[in-house]
């Protein structure tokens, strides 16, 4: 009976491991796709912001420094977000290097690291988004308004 319990336990552990590994694989796929989409979106915003700064400088916009500061901060936030996402993907991928059920807690530790990295990613996303909405976009809109007003005069 003890041998059968051990065998059942092994079967249950193997099934759990298969499910856990499948979840990790699907999460890696989802995160990779989301990362590519996010990077494309933010890189487009940064390119536009840089174009705005160049245009503002050329047109002698009086508040060009505010626009430059907003663009620089946005660029730093996006870089931090990309770094955080890379760290999360790396720690998630690292969980695959441990044999589930046989790694004596190393798999769970790697999973805990990945969770902590995910918290960083979420915080970075919130910071990047909030800054873009409260600083960068208003600065860009102010420039457009100024440009419209000066060209109408």
What pLDDT does residue 105 have?
79
Dist CA 140 CA 45 (whole Å): 11
What pLDDT does residue 96 have?
83
What pLDDT does residue 151 have?
87
Neighbour-count burial of 103, counting CB atoms closer than 10 A to its CB (0-12 exposed, 13-18 middle, 19+ buried): middle
Q: Are 27 and 33 in contact (CB under 8 A)?
A: no
Dist CA 148 CA 1 (whole Å): 84
What pLDDT does residue 11 have?
74
Neighbour-count burial of 133, counting CB atoms closer than 10 A to its CB (0-12 exposed, 13-18 middle, 19+ buried): exposed
Question: Could you list the pLDDT tens digit for every one of the 153 residues in the chain?
Answer: 566 666 666 677 777 778 888 888 999 999 999 999 999 999 999 999 999 999 999 999 999 999 999 999 999 999 999 999 999 999 999 888 877 667 777 878 888 999 999 999 999 999 999 999 999 999 999 999 999 999 886
Question: How many other CB atoms are there within 10 angstroms of residue 126's CB atom?
Answer: 11
């Amino acid at each position: 009976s003890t041998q059968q319990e051990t065998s059942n336990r092994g079967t249950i552990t193997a099934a759990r491991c298969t499910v856990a590994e499948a979840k990790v694989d699907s999460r890696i796929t989802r995160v990779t796709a989301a990362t590519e989409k996010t990077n494309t979106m933010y890189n487009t915003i940064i390119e536009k912001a840089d174009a705005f700064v160049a245009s503002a400088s050329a047109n002698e916009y009086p508040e060009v420094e505010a626009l430059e500061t907003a663009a620089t901060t946005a660029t730093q936030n996006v870089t931090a977000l990309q770094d955080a996402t890379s760290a999360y993907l790396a720690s998630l991928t690292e969980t695959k290097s441990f044999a589930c059920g046989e790694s004596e807690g190393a798999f769970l530790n790697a999973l805990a690291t990945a969770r902590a990295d995910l918290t960083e990613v979420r915080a970075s996303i919130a910071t990047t988004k909030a800054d873009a909405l409260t600083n960068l976009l208003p600065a860009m809109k102010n420039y457009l308004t100024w440009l419209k007003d000066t060209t109408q005069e």
